[in-house]
A and B are shown apart, each in its own frame.
Chain A
Amino acid sequence: DTGVSQNPRHKITKRGQNVTFRCDPISEHNRLYWYRQTLGQGPEFLTYFQNEAQLEKSRLLSDRFSAERPKGSFSTLEIQRTEQGDSAMYLCASSSWTGRDSPLHFGNGTRLTVT
């Protein structure tokens, strides 16, 4: 169990550019979640996958955001035409889903700064 890995740790980009983040979940975890956290707030749910299927997307996930999890392993989150309001910490979590009591295991996040 090497934990959830996220890359890059930090990303600075100019407004209007596209960015992509990667998440490698704990091996064999069937569920993967993306959250967004702004300063002084708790994480907010964005989307989740069960294996390769994206099962739910939050209304926070505008059409500029897209997430994939090909082959049910790693996942990518892409933001197109970034805006300053996208500046946040993007957290990935995974779980071995067996029921509602299954805890989420979080990575260290990718901090995005849009200038």
Chain B
Amino acid sequence: AQSVTQLGSHVSVSEGALVLLRCNYSSSVPPYLFWYVQYPNQGLQLLLKYTTGATLVKGINGFEAEFKKSETSFHLTKPSAHMSDAAEYFCAVTNSGNTGKLIFGQGTTLQVKP
């Protein structure tokens, strides 16, 4: 069965500082991994995805994530935080069958301090 664990329910950084949001996965098949962002009272917006190929994936808004099979991790980073990055971030893995459904982690709230 597939699962995702996001380490740290809240992360606080200063504006301009490095953002690191952690995600570890468990999958019985080669994983397809996603990061989504959710702003208050809104739906989820896709930031980036990893399927196959290059393990460093670039997404929107300056975010990127690196797939590390040996560590079963898919951490999300951004070199310099902006106030507008404050939101909730979800890591997700596709389930093993052909349903296309995503299994989400519990989310990490990112706070950006001025």
Contacts and interface: CB of A to CB of B under 8 A. Distances in A.
Contact of A55 (B92, B99, B102, B107): B99
Given A100-B32, A101-B94, A106 B45 contact: yes
Given A100-B32, A111-B41, A105 B46 contact: yes
Interface residues on A, range: 20 to 34
B82 interface: no
Interface residues of B, number: 26
B32 A109 contact: no
A104 B38 CA distance: 14
A101 B67 CA distance: 15
Contact of A100 (B4, B36, B94): B94
Contacts of B107: 40-42
A91 B101 CA distance: 13
Contact of B106 (A41, A97, A109, A111): A41
